[in-house]
Chains A and B, each alone.
Chain A
């Protein structure tokens, strides 16, 4: 059974930092490309970043490049998103996803989401 479980979401003040984690089970994490998306209240999903199975290939959306850092620990079957300089526009549910070239990079597995609220 595939599971992606995000943690680390919380209420944070503007300018603060937060680290999200995603614990994965049920598929070969070390062989999978992974990514992060977010969805602001009432909005559609927004892709943020993805990285290759080894972590050697990384892409970011312009909205988070330079502020967010994606990483992984294949020994722990875990994906991370370090978020710095947070602003109100970063308030959203953050999803950990798996993506695969076999499926045209579609997101075939999603976590349940972690809520990040940026507010003073």
Chain B
């Protein structure tokens, strides 16, 4: 199985900050990497697919990059509604696997 490792697991930030979340795959997954946001008690929602494509309706302050084994989710100008847990997810091979999550909290 392909292991997905996110870092950091927890990040404290302020409104307006720029934050970076990284995701590393245990083997080459090309660009089969997606990012989701989950707010407490809510259903996860798709942010980025194919490593860098913004899903419909997602604000442009979210940006994904990377290919192969190393990927990044960048959020510029953090907004109050962005405080949530973020998951990366590979779909290169089954079983499709998720990272352990990065919780972004208000400093």
Contacts and interface: CB of A to CB of B under 8 A. Distances in A.
Interface of A: 44-47, 59, 61-62, 95, 99, 103-108, 110-113
Interface of B: 31-34, 36, 43-46, 49-51, 53, 55, 87, 89, 91, 94-101
Nearest to B47: A106
**A-B pairs, 7 with minimum CB distance:** A105-B91, A106-B49, A106-B34, A104-B50, A103-B49, A47-B96, A61-B95
A102 to B, nearest CB: 9
B35 to A, nearest CB: 9
A105 B43 contact: no
B43 A47 contact: no
Given A107-B46, A110-B44, A47 B97 contact: yes
